[in-house]
Amino acid sequence: MAHGHTNTEARAAHPQASALKTGLLLTLLALLLAAPFFLYPIFLMKLLCFALFAAAFNLLLGYTGLLSFGHAAFFGGAAYFTGHAVKVWGFPPELGILLGMAGAAVLGLVMGLIAIRRQGIYFAMITLALSQMFFFFCVQSSFTHGEDGLQSIPRGHLFGFINLSDTTNMYFFVLAVFLIGMALIWRIVNSPFGMILKSIRENENRAISLGYSVARYKLAAFVMSATLTGMAGGLKALVFQFATLTDVTWQMSGEVILMTLLGGIGTLIGPVFGAGIVVTLQNYLATSDFPVTIITGVVFMACVLLFRRGLVGEFYASRIGRSLGFNPEK
């Protein structure tokens, strides 16, 4: 981030921008800490799960340039794995989530190995096909309980003594997992490895000619994205205390693409906002007579047409954003 500008004016604006960013992040954090006392906690927890899902998805789309149309397999798959581990095997919640992540990682490795050498739309199609295969596996398999889903998953006791049946406790647990997930994504993006991912996204052939085995880096990014998606999926199973087929459908893969594009790819916080907007819309429209999918579809079309970079991306690129020293490209 430190060398993003050509002129001294923009460079001088940098400390201001990072101070502003820190300020915004702290405000956001304060809001998240205070939110459960003002808003419906289940809604907030759902929002955080999807925000993490979208951010994990964006690690692949925004920072590696790969459009996966199969991320529901990792999200819904991890929900089943975590649910099963907690309910049937009696795992504590933290281990349940870790197991869900491990399961998503294995799924990601298998899908990635098959898909990673395909380019563009073929990559999207193969990931879609593979996730549909996983969907049918879930329909048939006994441990998912088919159409019924895995019901009444216990939330259990965190570290054996914090009772997560208490909604406030659960909320802060979800918030903590969300923050850990976001921190991991931030670290990956801003690391030596993240630099190579960026260069692959920018010019794949050049990266190859510099000796990088591009397919391996992409595969690693794919598995990381799947694992972090699994973190969100496992968390969601504990929040709602069930895991169903809904989360492994292709519509779920589409929804996360929508959230990410809406908020803006290539920014860390964009998908979080995108998820917030979509989940909020769904929540309020669910109780009204409007058809949810049509409204979200229209909002999505309008945003994509009006704000090519997504909401956060457009803000970074706007006069205000630029004058504050944000760099829309990073």
Which range in 100-108, 202-210, 269-277, 305-313 contacts other proteins by CB under 8 A? 202-210
* CB distance 311 to 305 below 8 Å: no
Q: How far is the CB of 225 from other proteins (least distance, A)?
A: 12
Interface pick for other proteins out of 43, 109, 157, 212 (rule CB under 8 A): 212
Count of beta carbons in the 10 Å neighbourhood of residue 73: 34
Strand partners, 162: 158
Q: Of the candidates 26, 30, 210, 302, which one interacts with other proteins according to CB under 8 A?
A: 210
Smallest gap from Cβ 185 to other proteins, in A, equals 10
Compute, in degrees rounded to 10, the torsion defined by CA atoms 123, 252, 165, 272: 70
Minimum Å gap between C-beta 268 and other proteins is: 14
Residue 203 binding other proteins, by CB under 8 A = yes
State the nearest-atom distance from the C-beta of 35 to other proteins, in Å: 30
x/- contact string, 218-237, with other proteins (CB under 8 A)? --x---x-------------
Q: List the Cα angle 215/218/219 in 5-degree steps.
A: 85
Query: How many C-beta atoms surround the C-beta of residue 184 within 10 A?
Result: 18
Region for residue 156 given its phi and psi (left: phi exceeds 0; alpha: psi -120 to 50; beta: otherwise): left
Cβ–Cβ under 8 Å, residues 50 and 232: yes
Residue 12 CB, shortest distance to other proteins, in Å, is 13
Q: Measured from the CB atom, is 223 or 259 closer to other proteins?
A: 223
Q: Does 209 bind other proteins (CB under 8 A)?
A: yes
Rule CB under 8 A: is residue 187 a binding residue for other proteins? Answer: yes
Question: Is residue 73 within 8 Å of 137, Cβ to Cβ?
Answer: no
Which of these segments, 174-182, 199-207, 251-259, 269-277, binds other proteins (CB under 8 A)? 199-207
**Which residues of the chain form contacts with other proteins (CB under 8 A)?**
1, 3-6, 11, 187-188, 190-196, 198-199, 202-203, 205-214, 220, 224, 329-330
